[in-house]
Amino acid sequence: MKRIVFCCLLIMALASAQPASAKPRTALDPVAVWNGLALETIRLTRASDADAARSYAMVNAAIYDAVNPLSGKRRAHLLKAPDGAPRHGDQQAAAVTAAHAVLTRLYPDRRDRFDEQLAADLAKLGTGPRVSSGRAWGQSVGTYIFNIRASDGSRPVETQPAGSGPGIFTQSWSGAQYRNMVPFGILDAARYVALGPPPLTSLDYAAAYSEIKLVGDARIPDAGKSALYQYWSLPSGSAQPPGEWLKIALEVSTPLRLAEKARLFALLGTALSDVSIPTVRTKYVHRHWRPETAIQQDDGNPYTERDPDWRARAGSPGSTPEYVSGHSSFSAAAATVLAGFFCADRMRFTHVTDSAPADPATGRPMERTFAGFSEAAADAGRSRVVGGTHFEFSNQAGLTMGRTVAAEILSRKLLRTTGPTHHGHCPL
């Protein structure tokens, strides 16, 4: 009884010792807020898919490496070793400051917007030595990550010239430098470069040709196929395919604490950026023609029939070489990370993409419900076939590429430094 009375008196004393002006801190979700800003920035700057993926990876690497040593989780760092991290730094202050340091350097024209958000976040966190030390640490982490990625091969921009002849992509395209970018997490991007499309004169090529000639034909009305294509089209001015998967992750990760949420998004950002390397390299090496060009021209295959008036349901043939499908590789990489992190693929969710068409019944952007992550990835990949922009063999090669890249990252990165590396049995 005396112990209970003593404890009550101690609690009352501690409460009365707080300054009268002290207020509880407002809830803050740095991962959601600063990924939201990154998504907004990619839309406004009309960044490419590979540019977007690299930016998302840098922001989330900074948040994770800033938070990880302050959380006591004892997990491996991604890019910045924890040397010099304060023992009692504020995790939220470190996270917002690290993300701010990366974004202001990547997109200096938007500094005012980033400064405004940082000021609002720090106002919610208040003052004190923990916040100050967290801010200083986060600033150092974000600056470090920007600096070490400044010469990672993503610049200067390179263009592959237009090609000619059967099977060859006929336009020049920029962004080819990403084939040589330094990965964030995988050891060697070359091992994931796809083997190539089937030979033009093969039966397998003719079968894929015949399928897309029918399902991807703009002259054949099919509201369902058109809506599926548009839902996942994600053109310039959207968050791009990598950003769409960040949005999905934000929707399913709401209950997570900061340290775990930061880890999920660091894994996701790493996979999305790293899979862009073999995707671009495969396009560069094989420079395969798009279906619209293929169907309009002669290919020497006795089982295909040329149609000079054929047009893709998508409305355009595509701006990069056809093989492999980047939508497929990005989507499979993200779906694999999410399933691996949660140790469950079948997590039902409802989602609206940046490019979702209007629902005829409501006039609002169309929602789609998925039974799990791999189902959504398969849906995204298939959308490129019904849109007439990718053959099915390119969809399947992209899905395989994404899964294998993500599997390496999950097996090697951000693991516990002591004890078991994961919790439970994961679907890998």
Helix axes 91-106, 258-286, angle to 10 degrees: 30
Count of alpha carbons within 13 angstroms of residue 58, beta-carbon side: 28
Can you tell me the distance from the alpha carbon of 298 to that of 301, in angstroms, rounded to the nearest whole number?
8
Of 226, 248, 222, 244, nearest to 235 by C-alpha is 244
User: What's the average model confidence in pLDDT over 377-382?
Assistant: 98
Burial degree of 351 (CB within 10 A; 0-12, 13-18, 19+): middle
What are the structure tokens assigned to 336, written together?
């694999």
Runs of H (alpha helix) within 46-159: 49-71, 91-106, 111-125, 129-149
Amino acid 167: pLDDT: 98
Q: Which amino acid is at 208?
A: A
- Contact residues for 72 (Cβ-Cβ < 8 A; gap 6+): none
Amino acid 9: pLDDT: 35
Domains of the chain: 26-149 (1.20.144.10), 159-412 (1.10.606.20)
* Residue-wise pLDDT tens digits, 216-227: 999 999 999 999
pLDDT at 349 over 90: yes
Asked if 306 and 259 count as a contact pair (C-beta separation under 8 A), the reply is no
Amino acid 419: pLDDT: 73
Range scoring the smallest mean pLDDT among 20-34, 186-200, 351-365: 20-34
* Residue-wise pLDDT tens digits, 294-303: 999 999 999 9
Asked if 99 and 106 count as a contact pair (C-beta separation under 8 A), the reply is no
User: Coil, strand or helix: which one is 73?
Assistant: coil
Per-residue confidence band for 361, with pLDDT thresholds at 50, 70 and 90: confident
Can you tell me the distance from the alpha carbon of 334 to that of 150, in angstroms, rounded to the nearest whole number?
25
**pTM for the complete prediction?**
0.93
pLDDT at 359 over 60: yes
Q: Higher pLDDT residue, 424 or 183?
A: 183
Amino acid 422: pLDDT: 58
Give the Cβ contact number of residue 288 at 10 Å: 24
Would you call the peptide bond into 86 cis, given omega within 30 degrees of 0 as the criterion? no
Mean pLDDT of the chain: 93
User: What's the average model confidence in pLDDT over 100-127?
Assistant: 98
| Angstrom distances, CA of residue 133 to CA of 85, 89, 136 | 9, 5, 5
Of 272, 380, 404, nearest to 328 by C-alpha is 380
Burial degree of 423 (CB within 10 A; 0-12, 13-18, 19+): exposed
* Residue-wise pLDDT tens digits, 3-12: 443 344 333 3
* Residue-wise pLDDT tens digits, 59-96: 999 999 999 999 988 899 999 999 999 999 999 999 99
**What does the DSSP 8-state code read for residue 177?**
G
Can you tell me the distance from the alpha carbon of 174 to that of 160, in angstroms, rounded to the nearest whole number?
7
Can you tell me the distance from the alpha carbon of 155 to that of 55, in angstroms, rounded to the nearest whole number?
13
Q: Which residue has the tokens 């040709």?
A: 209
* Residue-wise pLDDT tens digits, 233-266: 999 999 999 999 999 999 999 999 999 999 999 9
pLDDT at 418 over 90: no
Helix axes 49-71, 30-45, angle to 10 degrees: 160
Amino acid 375: pLDDT: 98
**What does the DSSP 8-state code read for residue 307?**
-
Amino acid 27: pLDDT: 78
Can you tell me the distance from the alpha carbon of 150 to that of 400, in angstroms, rounded to the nearest whole number?
30
